[in-house]
Amino acid sequence: MYNDTTQAELDQVLVKAVNAFHQYKTFSLAQRANFMRTIAQEIEALGDELIQTAMAETNLPEARLVGERARTMFQLTSYAAAAEQGNWLEASIHTAVPDKTPPKPDLRKMLVPLGPVVVFGASNFPFAYSTAGGDTACAFAAGCPVIVKAHPAHAQTSTLMANAILTAAKKCNMPDGIFSHVYGAGFEVGEYLAKHDAVKAIGFTGSFGGGKALFDWANQRKNPIPVFAEMGSVNPIFILPEKVELESESLAKQLAGSITLGMGQFCTNPGLLITINSEGLERFIQHLKREIKSVSPAKMLHQGIATNYAEKLTKALAQKGVQLISQTDEEIEEGKGLITLATTNGKTFLENPILHQEVFGPYSLIVQCADEKEFLEVAKALEGQLTATLMATPNDIRAHQDLLNYIQDICGRFILNNVPTGVDVSLPMHHGGPFPASTDSRFTSVGADGIKRFARPLSYQNWDDEFLPDELKNTNPLQIWRTVNNELTREQIS
Amino acid sequence: MYNDTTQAELDQVLVKAVNAFHQYKTFSLAQRANFMRTIAQEIEALGDELIQTAMAETNLPEARLVGERARTMFQLTSYAAAAEQGNWLEASIHTAVPDKTPPKPDLRKMLVPLGPVVVFGASNFPFAYSTAGGDTACAFAAGCPVIVKAHPAHAQTSTLMANAILTAAKKCNMPDGIFSHVYGAGFEVGEYLAKHDAVKAIGFTGSFGGGKALFDWANQRKNPIPVFAEMGSVNPIFILPEKVELESESLAKQLAGSITLGMGQFCTNPGLLITINSEGLERFIQHLKREIKSVSPAKMLHQGIATNYAEKLTKALAQKGVQLISQTDEEIEEGKGLITLATTNGKTFLENPILHQEVFGPYSLIVQCADEKEFLEVAKALEGQLTATLMATPNDIRAHQDLLNYIQDICGRFILNNVPTGVDVSLPMHHGGPFPASTDSRFTSVGADGIKRFARPLSYQNWDDEFLPDELKNTNPLQIWRTVNNELTREQIS
């Protein structure tokens, strides 16, 4: 439907982005915020056409897409507010102390934008983590122009969103090149962009293969650039003994909802339930089986995802020592996914790395450990995760401090008696985890702290107040929080 | 003098570091700070032996080393204070809003340590950027154990420092493995450590070759880790027309001091003076020539550095279109460096990338541009730099806004009418710049913000107050600054 953007066109896009950067980075925080709020308005103005187009391209139900549109607009407006509030700038000042040995110069530091950012959106969030999604919002807030490569699975939705951004850019008198939208069915367009000297950072949400390729290209450049690839994970749920003994039924209900939510097509879908053999566990499994059986399968996002799910599922179930517990038994039409629950023991899990891999879709594996020792070994054997969840009573927690210590090292978000699906958009959210969950565990792709991904500190030494950016002037005209001579304050400097 | 640490010994060191991490990361900020302050005391207790040993190994004069020791102790104690103050934790909290759609969970985020850190010290700062230097201090503050590979050029000094750290560790009841000191004459020990799964981050100060090798090894691991390599730069000085016209003599004095300071052996040594042809420039060059001639050469850090300087200097001076302005003309003994000033025109500089490279030592190149246009082209052609300096009057600044805009993109610290040498230890210092000045322009290796290099965010969702770290408890027992429901506050949560 859309032709691949040619290399000559990409070159033009990149020249425009660089020129736009040199103007846009000098725009005030208020101007950036106004642009972001206008984008949110233009998304709303797309009305039902946006929802209908996305429904046709992604198989996602209307209510979900209406909710996701609201989330997308909230991201834009709340990150705009955070951009203006200015805490993300980490402004700090130390005034001169000329009579010290050696004399201390006047130093003032704040975050400044990196330059043009390329964004690769997610197939499972056609609005919130795609064209006008979190990465784009954060880059605009930081002061960077954005080039979005449309996701081939929802290129039409992406084009609508791109037009909304471009309309907002025109309304807000943004420089030409502040936003560009390009197409590519294969990897070539992405590779060209990732390797291009004009590109200064990359945001990506998707598969490990895609994210890792971008990471490698970016690091092999003459001037390496940061890649923020959120590549999903299996999101282990650690179920502790007293909890499963006392609450097997409610726990099963809670987890069944999370496992099957959105046909398991979330990067925070719980793909592993790690447990210790007990009578309570047997009851839990029976409850979970019944709960999951009651869910009707829906169409997956697109045929590619459905095929990929079927293949990975078959492979997982074919591993030695894996037993099927429950699977959708109705005849299902093409494109739907079989909701599946399987189990294995701790020893088998520890010996087979295939069982540690994500199966993107409505599948979970229960790992039944023989004892506490094996339970800890399984925890230690896991790779980096976006989330880890503990299902535990206070007694369980007190008795498993060593386990908690290890789990913290492998996850970006540590949840107690809650489910990992449902990624709240707020400042304390960390969406990102140790590799391979993401390529840079130090940055989040959800929440206003994501703005910092596209910025770096710059120190100004010995500048006259007149020539400093407003953020660092003595009078603090923006009234932002700054660390002045080691103390956080919003006061001006006299 | 010291045998290379064997692979079997390294494996043991790494096992101990991992075990130490699981204890040390649970230690309070006060315990970490106390450990760091005790290290500073133990360094002081080394007394004159430390100074004499370093003098013998590095050729640095006593006064400089006494000053550097004070700086090293100040780093430890001021980063300890910053660690306890807790602003670096970036603690943020959003309390639950259960009646929202979807309901907002209680989320609390703070930085947590990465794990064992390997530090490779600098040859030009045997105290402040070596064994007990900035990287080690930051890692301890963040909650990470440290493994230092002794710099072969000052291994004995390094061993003294290591012993001071180990004594402090014992006095403070630190876990075994909190600090290890290893030796390696070649690159093999470093490579083994950088590729080892137990190592979670690397701090390095030194050459581009060394830093880039570590960066590549770290990124090619199954689980890539961050490398903070500070690799030096040429630190361009941009001299604007009115400034040189009005202040040619004082400018020459100021710059000659910076160029020859410590025999040019600083990563912030100004290696390029970028100017526009004018009568004032000719006067400036004559003044600078005279000033530099008056400086007596001293021995360089060690023979390797002296040989390397001589080779790079010869290569730079042999480039077509480069003219020598001034060079030490006395007979100098082995190991000393020739203080050298050369010049070329803008066109030659733009066409020859060899002239853009750092010549580590007392050498500077004056680039004489034909006009404003060429001046801007030279600015745009430069690689990433730790610092860039503007020598300008207010009129100059107002007339060169476009130039300023471009310079900001290539440096980590932007200086006005001051010299880049003398890296102040304070929070607003940013020591790090776009590649190839450093491998990660988002983090500093000087100042307490360097602590953040060795930490990553972790979100806690839905945890009972009892089980949260003190930093995130409702009562805020540490009285740290936290962002609670989007507002910075030190208040407790009711």
pLDDT (tens digit, 0 to 9) for every residue of chain A, 494 residues total?
Answer: 799 999 999 999 999 999 999 999 999 999 999 999 999 999 999 999 999 999 999 999 999 999 999 999 999 999 999 999 999 999 999 999 999 988 899 999 999 999 999 999 999 999 999 999 999 999 999 999 999 999 999 999 999 999 999 999 999 999 999 999 999 999 999 999 999 999 999 999 999 999 999 999 999 999 999 999 999 899 999 999 999 999 999 999 999 999 999 999 999 999 999 999 999 999 999 999 999 999 999 999 998 899 999 999 999 999 999 999 999 887 777 889 899 999 999 999 999 999 999 999 999 999 999 999 999 999 999 999 999 999 999 999 999 999 999 999 999 999 999 999 999 999 999 999 999 999 999 999 999 999 999 999 999 999 999 999 999 999 999 999 999 999 999 999 98
Tell me the CATH number at B243: 3.40.309.10
**Same domain? B296 vs B255:** yes
Q: B493 in a domain, yes or no?
A: no
Residue A486 lies in a domain: no
CB B143, CB B200: distance < 8 Å? no
Q: B335 pLDDT band (50/70/90 cuts)?
A: confident
- The residue among B416, B448, B478 that closes a domain is B416
Mind telling me how many Å the CA of B272 is from chain A's nearest CA?
19
For residue A412, give Cα distances in angstroms to A446, B34, B461: 12, 29, 11
| Whether residue B201 is found in the same domain as residue B258 | no
Task: Determine, yes or no, domain membership for A211.
Answer: yes
pLDDT-derived band at B147 (thresholds 50, 70, 90) equals very high
Q: What is the DSSP string of A258-317?
A: HHHGGGG-STT---EEEEE--HHHHHHHHHHHHHHHTSPP-B-SSHHHHHHHHHHHHHHH
Asked if B39 and B162 count as a contact pair (C-beta separation under 8 A), the reply is no
Distance of alpha carbon A266 from alpha carbon A260, whole angstroms: 10
Question: Smallest CA–CA separation between A430 and chain B, in Å?
Answer: 6
Q: Does A373 touch chain B (CB under 8 A)?
A: no
> Does B406 touch chain A if contact means CB atoms closer than 8 Å?
yes
Best mutation target, B18, B111, B442, to test chain A (most A CBs within 10 A): B442
* A165 and A248 both lie in a single domain: no
A52 CA: distance to closest CA in chain B (Å): 23
The number of folded domains in chain B is 2
Q: Which of residues 152-181 of B touch A (CB under 8 A)?
A: none
CATH code for position B157: 3.40.605.10
Q: Which residues of B touch A142 (CB under 8 A)?
A: none
Of A108, A455, A467, the CB nearest to B428: A108
Q: Do B223 and A85 touch (CB under 8 A)?
A: no
Same domain, B386 and B267: yes
Residue B446 maps to a domain: yes
DSSP B107-167: EEEEEEE-S-EEEE--SS-TTTTSTTSHHHHHHHHHT--EEEEPPGGGHHHHHHHHHHHHH
- Report yes or no: B455 and B143 within 8 Å, Cβ to Cβ: yes
Assess contact for A353 and A382: CB atoms under 8 A. Answer: no
Sign of CA dihedral A334, A339, A345, A351: positive
| Element containing residue B379 per DSSP (H, E) | helix B372-381
Contacts of A399 (CB under 8 A, 6+ apart): A240
CA-wise closest residue to A165 among A78, A51, A37, A291: A37
Beta carbons of B461 and A223 less than 8 Å apart: no
Active-site residue among B84, B230, B247, B358? B230
Question: What percentage of chain B exceeds 90 in pLDDT?
Answer: 96
Residues of A in contact with B108 (CB under 8 A): 428
Task: Name the residues of A annotated as catalytic.
Answer: 230, 267
Q: Which of residues 408-437 of B touch A (CB under 8 A)?
A: 408-409, 411-418, 422, 424, 426-430, 432, 434-436
Chain B: residue whose CA lies nearest to A420: B461
Res A232: pLDDT: 87
Count residue pairs from A and B with Cβ separation < 8 A: 192
B90 contacts on A by Cβ (under 8 Å): 449
For position A465, what pLDDT does the model report?
97
| Strand partners for A411 | A385
- Chain B residues with CB under 8 Å of A455 CB are 442
Same domain, A398 and A260: yes
Of A409, A459, A463, the CB nearest to B429: A459
Mean pLDDT score of chain B: 96
Task: Tell me how close the Cα of B92 comes to any Cα of chain A, in angstroms.
Answer: 5
Q: Retrieve residue A312's tokens.
A: 């990975």
- B-facing residues of A in 202-241 (CB < 8 A) are 215-216, 219, 223-224, 226
Please, what is the Cα angle at A309 between A307 and A315, to 5 degrees?
Answer: 105
B92-94 and B482-484 beta bridge pairing:
parallel
The whole-number pLDDT of residue B299 equals 92
User: Whole domain around residue A51: which residue ranges?
Assistant: 7-231+440-457+467-472
C-alpha distance from A205 to closest chain B C-alpha (Å): 18
Which residue, among A29, A25, A28, has the nearest Cα to A144 in the 3D structure? A25
ipTM: 0.97
Specify which residues B236 forms β-bridges with: B272
- Give the separation between CA B16 and CA A493, rounded to whole angstroms: 48
CA distance A428 to chain B (A): 5
Q: Can you give the length of chain A in residues? A: 494
Closest to B424 (Cα-Cα) out of A70, A322, A109, A380: A109
DSSP B37-79: HHHHHHHHHTTHHHHHHHHHHH---HHHHHHHHHHHHHHHHHH
* C-beta atoms of B426 and A394 within 8 A: no
Mutation target to probe the A interface, by most A beta carbons within 10 A, among B424, B439, B460, B490 is B424
Phi and psi at residue A51, in whole multiples of 5°?
A: -65, -45
Q: Does the pLDDT at position B428 exceed 80?
A: yes
Indicate whether A222 and A329 sit together in one domain: no
Helix (H, G, I), strand (E, B) or coil at B332: coil
Flag whether B428 is in a domain.
no
- CA-only gyration radius of chain B, Å: 24
How close is the nearest chain A Cα to the Cα of B325, in Å? 30
B152 preceded by cis ω (within 30°)? no
Residue B81 covered by a domain = yes
**Do B379 and B252 share a domain, yes or no?**
yes
Selected residues 446-475 of chain A with any CB under 8 Å from a CB in chain B: 449, 455-464, 466-467
Q: Are residues B212 and B109 in the same domain?
A: yes
B393 in contact with A at a CB cutoff of 8 Å? no
Cα dist from A16 to A32, A173, B257, B404, whole Å:
18, 15, 43, 20
Measured CA distances, B352 to B234, B320, B324, B356, B382 (Å): 15, 9, 17, 8, 12
Q: Which two tokens stand for residue A295?
A: 């869910």
Regarding whether A447 and A399 lie in a shared domain, the answer is no
| Helical spans, DSSP H, in A143-232 | 155-171, 188-195, 208-220
Q: Classify residue B365: in a domain, yes or no.
A: yes
Give the closest of B412, B439, B463 to A416, CB-based: B463
Within this chain, do residues A287 and A149 fall inside the same structural domain, yes or no?
A: no
Same domain, A225 and A261: no
Contact B36, B80 (CB under 8 A): yes
Q: Note whether B91 and B207 are same-domain residues.
A: yes
Residue B87 Ramachandran class (φ > 0 left, ψ -120 to 50 alpha, else beta): alpha
Using an 8 Å CB-CB cutoff, list chain B residues near A467. Answer: 394, 397, 416
Beta bridge partners, A296, equal none
- Chain A hits for B230, CB-CB cut-off 8 Å, are none
**DSSP-derived pairing of the beta strands A107-113 and A455-461:** antiparallel
* Of the candidates B136, B124, B171, B142, the residue with the CA atom closest to the CA atom of residue B83: B142
Taking an 8 Å cut-off on Cβ atoms, the answer to whether B397 and A467 are in contact is yes
Question: What single letter denotes the amino acid at residue A236?
Answer: P
Local structure of residue B105 (DSSP, 8 states): P
Q: 473-492 in A: which are within 8 Å (CB) of B?
A: 481, 483, 486, 488
- Cross-chain residue pair A426–B94, CB shorter than 8 Å: yes
- Nearest by CB to residue B457, choosing from A93, A409, A430, is A430
The widest CA-to-CA distance across chain B, in whole angstroms, is: 83
**Interfacial A residues in 250-289 facing B (CB < 8 Å):** none
pLDDT of residue A329: 82
CA atoms within 13 A on the CB side of B139: 32
B395 inside domain: yes
Q: How far apart are CA A325 and CA A275, in angstroms?
A: 15
Residue-level pLDDT at B152: 94
